[in-house]
Amino acid sequence: MAAPEIYSPGLEGVIAGETAISTVTGGLRYRGYPVTQLAEKCCFEEVAHLLLHGDLPNSAQLREFRHRLWAYAQLPSQVNTFLHEAPRKAASMDVLRTAVSMLALHDPDTGDNSRAANLRKAERLLAQIPLALATAYRAGKGQPIVRPAADLGFAANLLYMVRGTPPDDFERKAFDVSLILYAEHEFNASTFTARVVCSTESDLHSSVVAAIGALKGPLHGGANEKVMDVLFAAGGPETAEAWLRAAMERKQKVMGFGHRVYKTGDVRARVLKEYARQATARAGMQKWEETAEIIERILAAEKNLFPNLDWPAGRLYHAMGLEIALYTPFFVAARVSGWSAHVIEQLENNRIIRPRARYTGPDERMVPDPA
């Protein structure tokens, strides 16, 4: 007797592979390290090294890693021209996705799927993506392009290239923490997409391009762009409860809440919430933090819904004066480290990912004979 078909919509609860990179079981950990400790004690470059190379770097390894990223921080002239000439109305994620695809045309290792070559490509993309997103952003505003500074780290340089002025210590740390929290998250939609693509023995750039396409959606990375829309619609602490109850009555989804895996809250959201609170206080925007608290309280008590990482990230970035069009590209700049680690891992013990579908069409039918 054939085994019964098991169907899980959205693959919920399905174990679709094995990974040593991260786990959400018992709290999010990257290669065994709790993400809370990484956010507190490490910088983003250390975490990117951990994901790509398997362990936290010592001082010499970190210095060498940063030196390689600095050497890779340049764009081919054709990519730079595209970023300056891209349609101003184009979505920032579309521009970034296309830029990454173009980078494959110029990477000397594009066709080499060895571990060593994929590590080189991953490090290049880690260095090039911040340049690409900052160039596209500033070119779109007619502003001069800002080159990275040798004395700034990854997070500080990304802010510097976007804004044109170096961040202060709080901004650097807060933004760095956000990138650490966004860097990796097991078999999420975009990471699984990257693994599916490379399981065909396609290349790392193709996997990352596909992952960016998956991340763009508002049910995944694009959710952080919708957070301030929710708060603006709520209007402020005086009107937040009435707005939320009306939204609940309409069965409207509140972006930034709920998670397929976390049922009692996202530890990443709790970490970043404190930085969002401090940032809004510094910017004189406590109104939005108070509004967020009311929404959080009601959804937790009445719907058992808790914030995910996008909820405080959107508030943090807004309080730092960063435009919404940058939010999901920032996610890409961080997550490319995790995506690349998964591509490398998938290829080391590869089997093409090819699930089955439950057929719901008509029963077998015969094509009629010609009249």
Q: How confident is the model at residue 250 (pLDDT cuts 50, 70, 90)?
A: very high
- Tens digits of residue pLDDT in 265-279: 789 999 999 999 999
Mean pLDDT for 138-158 is 96
pTM for the full model?
0.94
pLDDT at 1: 59
C-alpha closest to that of 340 among 205, 178, 187: 205
Backbone conformation region of residue 295, classed left if phi is above 0, alpha if psi is from -120 to 50, else beta: alpha
- Tens digits of residue pLDDT in 79-130: 999 999 999 999 999 999 999 999 999 999 999 999 999 999 999 999 999 9
Q: How confident is the model at residue 231 (pLDDT cuts 50, 70, 90)?
A: very high
Domains of the chain: 20-216+330-348 (1.10.580.10), 224-319 (1.10.230.10)
Instruction: Look at residue 219 and tell me whether its pLDDT is greater than 70.
Output: yes
- How far apart are the C-alpha atoms of 97 and 93, rounded to whole Å? 6
Mean pLDDT for 331-358 is 96
Where is pLDDT greater, at 221 or 87? 87
Q: What share of the chain is helix, strand, coil (3-state, %, to 5)?
A: 60, 0, 40
Of 79-83, 136-140, 260-264, 315-319, least confident by mean pLDDT is: 260-264
- Tens digits of residue pLDDT in 258-311: 766 766 778 999 999 999 999 999 999 999 999 999 999 999 999 999 999 999
Catalytic residue positions, numbered: 259, 310
Q: How confident is the model at residue 2 (pLDDT cuts 50, 70, 90)?
A: low
Label residues 308-342 b or e (16+ Cβ within 10 Å = b).
bbbbbbbbbbbbbebebbbbbbbbbbbbbbbbbbb
Instruction: Look at residue 59 and tell me whether its pLDDT is greater than 90.
Output: yes
- Tens digits of residue pLDDT in 172-196: 999 999 999 999 999 999 999 999 9
